[in-house]
Structure 1
């Protein structure tokens, strides 16, 4: 039976699995159950997908060609992603399971898995996500709206403000953590990724670019503050 009630929004699932046969089988079965499914086989392929789309559930393999699923799950949680995460892996030692939950996983299924059980677990996570309400699609501040679905920053006239992909991701991360002092390392890990080697001063340059593109003045109802010895904090005013 489809997990979607009549008239309900379509629930979205991201499947990250490097085995092509397992990936295709799982995608086919999830689509038959009524989910909108996207798939990836590497961290590099998955990262822009979850940044661009608010998924209800992410099915995440741990052992991947370009890293491990733990780092991606941690990155998602640091960025404030509310997607339910199900770890899917052949690594079943207690330490591996505990590590998965510590980085923010919601459930853990061992390979080889029983398909019906896996689908049932995904259904439970999707139901929790739907009960919690639809993923946040728009962030508003000052005279701007950030449309997460279309990845656009719009001004008060609904005109797009041109941002690079990284500038957009940085703005979303700062907004989702408004009022919190964030270190440069936290920002680099969440926006650029743990596997990317970037100088900490890069954050300073991107924050400076954002201030210019947002046309910040002393009368603006937001401020990108430099926190001495730490990093940056975004303050929003009424």
Structure 2
């Protein structure tokens, strides 16, 4: 019986059913870098640490709006497409969710949609991706097989890029998703350095079905 736990690029399923959010914080503190000030959301709803988790729950840690990181109050259509893919706009429309202002979605609209989206995304669908980073088992699954990984930044970067293979992410989006940085405090060179480290690690593992690529201050994970 598992619960999906997410913080930034850290995303995995854990046997946490029946445990409180406080217990999850303690057990995954170092692995997920769970600062005590982070807010916990269960299925898109803010909850206190005494909340007991149920089978299939989606637990996400982040910072509230107005703080560094977290879910922003309003999302433009371009921001939604950048983070979730162009199909997200049509998915939102099919779900009856339309911009609260001209071409702008509110925080609650995005949160509610993410909640519905997480319920229909099965573990099987995740496993069938060309690349699947599983921090719960510390493994990387690709066409060549399954490989052990660790919690280094390069693999958190890989997990983020793997959410949309063959898509070039902007540096600012990667800073926000991987480094939890919305104020530009992380240097562009830091992102480029971790891309090089990721490339080197994949080569050492003999993985050729996926490879990092960069152009014009954008970065992607390409697949065969």
Partner of 1:70: 71
Distance 1:139 1:38, change over 3 A: farther
Q: Distance in 1 between matches of 2:3 and 2:205?
A: 41
Partner of 1:220: 208
Distance 1:202 1:73, change over 3 A: farther
How is 1:86-165 mapped onto 2 (pairs within 5 angstroms)?
Answer: 99-101=106-108, 104-106=110-112, 129-130=118-119, 132-135=120-123, 138=127, 141=130, 146-153=133-140, 158-162=146-150, 164=152
Question: Secondary structure at 1:70's aligned position in 2?
Answer: coil
CA RMSD of aligned residues (A): 5.1
Work out which of the residue numbers 171, 176, 180 in structure 1 matches 2:158: 171
Deviations 1:35-66 (A, max 9, x none): 6542579685459xxxxxx95255988468x5
Aligned length: 170
Partner of 1:19: none
Q: Distance in 1 between matches of 2:18 and 2:159?
A: 26
Contact 1:188 1:203 in 2 (8 A): yes
Distance 1:192 1:35, change over 3 A: same
Partner of 1:198: 186
Distance 1:73 1:190, change over 3 A: farther
Deviation at 1:220, TM superposition (A): 2.0
The reply on whether 1:210 has 2:198 as its aligned counterpart is yes
Structure 2: state its 5+ residue gaps: 7-15, 26-33, 41-55, 85-99
Work out which of the residue numbers 55, 58, 62 in structure 2 matches 1:56: 58
Q: Distance in 2 between matches of 1:158 and 1:57?
A: 26
Of 199-208 and 215-224, more deviation after overlay is shown by 215-224
Structure with greater Cα Rg:
1
TM-score, scaled to structure 1: 0.49
Contact 2:39 2:62 in 1 (8 A): no
Deviation at 1:159, TM superposition (A): 4.7
Contact 2:140 2:148 in 1 (8 A): yes
Question: Secondary structure at 2:159's aligned position in 1?
Answer: helix
Structure 1: state its 5+ residue gaps: 1-8, 15-30, 48-53, 81-93, 108-124
